[in-house]
Amino acid sequence: MRMLPAVLLALILAGSVQAKEAAPLAEDPVVEQRMVNIAEELRCLVCQNESLASSHADLAQDLRREVRGLIKEGKSDQEVKDFLVSRYGDFVLYRPQVKPTTYLLWGGPFLLLIIGIAVLIRYLRRRDRQFVETPLTDEERKRAEALLKADGS
């Protein structure tokens, strides 16, 4: 029972913390929407499998604030992304740019597809060659004709 005041206090504090986090959302819906669109394309560096838009990491909140600021300054989406890439590197982009270091990344799947098709064609051709047509002997031909006649009547 002695814990009760502490628990109540914790609950009250937890409530107030949540209320504080929600505040910036309402500020400017247009800026907010653009910020979310950009942030969804960017990786949070603290929890690397989350986008900057969905991450609750402290750094992600700071970076969202920074992105909002840049949008309000009138920067284009590309300029905002460049701002982050110049600081954190290409790693923050979920959609990496096409350039010499990423050719393999972009071309790799197609390369594998081409290799797969080549292997498949080679395999099918080789299998074809295994079925060499051997002409029927006279005896076999007679048996076949007999069978066909018996079936036809």
Partner 1 sequence: MNKFLLPLGIFIALVGLLAVGLNLNPREVPSPLVGKPAPNFSVPQLDAPDKNFSPKEMLGKVWLFNVWASWCISCREEHPVLVEYAKAGKLPPTVGLDYKDKRDDGQRWIARLGDPYLLSAFDADGRVGIDYGVYGVPETYLIDKAGIIRFKQIGPITPDVMDKKILPLVQELNK
CB 36 within 8 A of CB 53: yes
Give the pair of three-digit tokens for residue 59. 């750094």
Q: Rule CB under 8 A: say whether 36 interacts with partner 1.
A: no
Q: Which is nearer to partner 1, 28 or 88 (CB)?
A: 88
Mapped onto helix, strand or coil, the DSSP state of residue 105 is: helix
- Of 52, 63, 71, 80, which one interacts with partner 1 (CB under 8 A)? 63
User: Please, what is the minimum distance in Å from the beta carbon of residue 45 to partner 1?
Assistant: 4
Give the pair of three-digit tokens for residue 42. 């960017």
Q: Rule CB under 8 A: say whether 28 interacts with partner 1.
A: no
Residues 39-58 that bind partner 1 (CB under 8 A): 45-46, 48, 58
Q: Rule CB under 8 A: say whether 33 interacts with partner 1.
A: no
CA count, 13 A, side-chain hemisphere, 51? 13
Cα distances (angstroms) measured from residue 141 to each of 26, 134, 144, 145: 88, 12, 5, 6
User: Please, what is the minimum distance in Å from the beta carbon of residue 12 to partner 1?
Assistant: 22
- Of 66, 77, 93, 102, which one interacts with partner 1 (CB under 8 A)? 66
